């Protein structure tokens, strides 16, 4: 069954090519398509395009289909092009000609738009919650290990004293920036496109403000053409937010991979969170974190992929917009799994204080020369003196650190960082 078919069958080869994997992705979107159809049916009843009784019959049947979609028993067989055609078929099968009325005053274009935006809105809010859970763990770890020193690096070389408290809370505060962007994307997604039909509205006297309220959208995308132009933009902006969050997770995963290595030995994990080698019995491989790094790096490439897909398209619908659906659904599923696995693994992290090892003594050089500056020596002269002492092998590090300014290793401001996160959710 194809909603657009007028009697002439499509060549099977064309059918396979044009439908692609849409049936698979539509199983994810089907519950949201049902929600939108329920709101649409209620609106049709209110404006008199169908009776209130007919609207109620459609609503009840759509709720039954929605439950089956949520439970996973809803299927889209090959004779159906997509979720829209299967849902309409089920309505007709149960309600006869009434089922044929559900498509009044809408198009598959605004159907998929509203389903996608409801899905993305729901998933972004879940991603926010998962990010907050990881943030809370990072803050807890920062408090627990705030006095344990570790070397900080620039250019992959030992630079200055850092701490596990600084390291953990750095990633915690970075997640706040990622959520700022995600919240901006939610403002774009949280606009109702339903009623834009194929992008040029309808001659039916529909009530778009009613469906906006019913579906819980914050606002309405008023211009019907602008609503259709959101296809592609919604996916791209979502991909940007996911990519930025992915970049934070990938960097954290990379740090962990390095710090687990024998040359660093800053952190370790229980055996059941690592893997071994088929020939090297001593290995404890960070496969979990390598996969988080890899998955998140691929997500960072998604905005460019979607930009290439949608570049230079004129206004109005184009069939390749369908190709944006799968990548954004998969990216959302991947970032959620990465957030969950990072949190699951970090709960068992063990930190090790290696700061007293001789190879790290030069990380104290800046603090040592700063003492000379405090005593009155010009900084450039102190810098040159320190360089000469290091070159001559006469450097004696000052290890009783006293960092007091906001955000330093001695004054992490964890409460203030937590307040920033709380404001995001208030």
What are the tens digits of pLDDT across the range 56-80? 999 999 999 999 999 999 999 988 9
Check residue 342 and give its pLDDT.
Answer: 98
**Spans of the chain below 70 pLDDT:** 1-11, 15-16, 18-20, 276-283
pLDDT tens digits for 173-188? 999 999 999 999 999 9
Where does 109-351 sit in CATH, by number?
1.20.200.10
Domain 12-104 belongs to what topology? Fumarase C; Chain B, domain 1 (1.10.275)
Check residue 7 and give its pLDDT.
Answer: 56
Check residue 4 and give its pLDDT.
Answer: 44
pTM (2 d.p.): 0.92
3-state secondary structure string, 208-237? HHHHHHHCCCCEECCCHHHHHHHHHHHHHH
Domain boundaries, the chain: 12-104, 109-351, 358-425
CB 241 within 8 A of CB 181: yes
């Amino acid at each position: 069954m194809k909603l657009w078919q007028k009697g002439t069958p499509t060549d099977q080869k064309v059918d396979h090519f044009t439908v692609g994997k849409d049936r698979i992705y539509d199983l994810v979107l089907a519950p949201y398509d049902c929600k939108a159809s329920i709101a649409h049916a209620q609106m049709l009843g209110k404006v008199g395009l169908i009776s209130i009784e007919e609207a109620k019959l459609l609503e009840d049947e759509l709720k039954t289909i929605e439950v089956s979609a949520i439970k996973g028993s809803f299927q889209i067989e090959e004779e159906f092009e997509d979720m829209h055609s299967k849902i309409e078929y089920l309505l007709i099968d149960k309600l006869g000609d009434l089922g044929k009325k559900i498509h009044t005053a809408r198009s598959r274009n605004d159907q998929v738009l509203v389903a996608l935006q409801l899905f993305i809105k729901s998933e972004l809010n879940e991603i926010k919650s998962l990010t907050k859970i990881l943030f809370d763990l990072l803050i807890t770890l920062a408090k627990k290990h705030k006095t344990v020193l570790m070397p900080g690096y620039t250019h992959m070389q030992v630079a200055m004293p850092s701490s596990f408290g600084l390291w953990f809370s750095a990633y915690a505060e970075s997640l706040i920036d990622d959520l700022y962007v995600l919240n901006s994307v939610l403002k774009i997604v949280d606009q109702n496109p339903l009623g834009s039909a194929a992008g040029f509205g309808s001659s039916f006297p529909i009530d778009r403000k009613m469906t906006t309220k019913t579906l819980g959208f914050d606002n309405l995308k008023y211009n019907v053409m602008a609503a259709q132009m959101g296809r592609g933009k919604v996916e791209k902006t979502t991909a940007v937010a996911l990519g930025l969050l992915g970049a934070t997770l990938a960097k954290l995963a990379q740090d962990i991979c390095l710090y687990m290595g024998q040359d660093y030995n800053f952190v370790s994990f229980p055996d059941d969170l690592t893997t071994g080698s088929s020939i090297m019995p001593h290995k404890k491989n960070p496969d979990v974190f390598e996969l988080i790094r890899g998955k998140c790096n691929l997500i960072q490439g998604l905005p460019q992929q979607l930009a290439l897909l949608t570049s230079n398209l004129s206004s109005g619908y184009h069939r390749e917009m369908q190709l944006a659906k799968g990548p954004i659904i998969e990216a959302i599923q991947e970032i959620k799994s990465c957030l969950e696995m990072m949190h699951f693994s970090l709960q068992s992290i063990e930190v090790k204080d290696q700061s007293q090892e001789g190879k790290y003594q030069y990380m104290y050089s800046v603090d040592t020369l700063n003492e000379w500056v405090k005593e009155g020596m010009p900084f450039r002269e102190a810098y040159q003196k320190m360089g000469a002492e290091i070159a001559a092998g006469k450097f004696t590090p000052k290890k009783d650190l006293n960092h007091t300014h906001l955000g330093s290793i001695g004054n992490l401001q964890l409460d203030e960082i937590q307040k920033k996160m709380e404001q995001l959710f208030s």
